[in-house]
């Protein structure tokens, strides 16, 4: 299972939110590159970078942070937030992203999302399936829909998607454990490569996600609040 630390960006700084609420933002580092370098120094190979300014602005904003990390480390970066046009996705890949995650765009403009899948391929495009009470949420989780998360994933699996990041918003940033029942259901009803996100609070959580069959697990607040050390994570890589 891939271990994937998360860096969320607001105003160029490394922050974390609780349950996606921008009011709860807490700055952990003024320089995201320092965080990325520390991850790499501890044997981490992957990074989940989220442009929270971009998610609100509906366009990529913090691409310079992406470029700085990809040009000064060897981390393979999955980038998401604000990718709403062909120009946005080109900027992301031109600035070093290994993969991009599209969530809101997959809801608002499925044809454009499928165009990206056709152009860049299934290894480059990740479906973001973030949900609250099983309903897909969009625009940095500011908006909700009536789309059931399982049906949403199954529909895109039929269209060729291989990778899915699914965050249970109620768990995100709460350090109270992961949404294992949901992940088991997703894996039982699809054959996608599932990357779990939200609620990781301990090494035990990660071991359970691996047992369930997740392809990857994103770890955020647990690192910044020192519930899990990067050295501990490196042993799972």
Q: List, by residue number, the catalytic residues.
A: 8, 130
- For residue 7 the two structure tokens come to 């860096």
Whether residue 72 contacts residue 40, with contact meaning beta carbons closer than 8 Å, is answered with no
The vertex-225 CA angle with 224 and 229, nearest 5°, equals 70
Q: Nearest to residue 105, comparing CAs of 134, 81, 133?
A: 81
25 vs 22: CA distance, rounded Å: 5
Distance CA 88, CA 40 (A): 27
Phi, psi of 193 (to 5 degrees): -90, 110
């Amino acid at each position: 299972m891939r271990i994937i630390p998360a860096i969320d960006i607001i105003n160029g700084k490394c922050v974390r939110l609780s349950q996606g609420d921008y009011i709860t933002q807490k700055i952990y580092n003024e320089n995201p590159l320092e965080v990325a370098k520390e991850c790499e120094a501890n044997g981490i190979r992957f990074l989940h970078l989220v442009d929270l300014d971009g998610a609100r602005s509906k366009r990529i904003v913090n691409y310079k942070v992406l470029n700085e990390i990809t040009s000064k480390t060897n981390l393979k970066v999955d980038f998401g937030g604000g990718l709403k046009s062909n120009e946005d996705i080109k900027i992301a890949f031109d600035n070093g992203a290994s993969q991009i995650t599209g969530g809101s765009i997959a809801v608002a403009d499925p044809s454009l999302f499928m165009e990206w899948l056709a152009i860049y391929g299934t290894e480059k495009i990740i479906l973001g399936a973030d949900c609250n009470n099983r309903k897909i949420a969009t625009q940095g989780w500011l908006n909700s829909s009536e789309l059931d998360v399982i049906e949403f994933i199954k529909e895109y699996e039929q269209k060729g998607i291989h990778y899915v990041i699914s965050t249970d918003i109620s768990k995100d940033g709460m350090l109270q454990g992961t949404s294992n029942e949901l992940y088991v259901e997703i894996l039982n009803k699809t054959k996608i490569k599932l990357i779990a996100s939200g609620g990781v609070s301990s090494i035990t959580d990660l071991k359970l996600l691996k047992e369930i069959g997740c392809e990857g697990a994103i770890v955020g607040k647990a690192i910044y609040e020192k519930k899990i050390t990067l050295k501990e994570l490196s042993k799972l890589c």
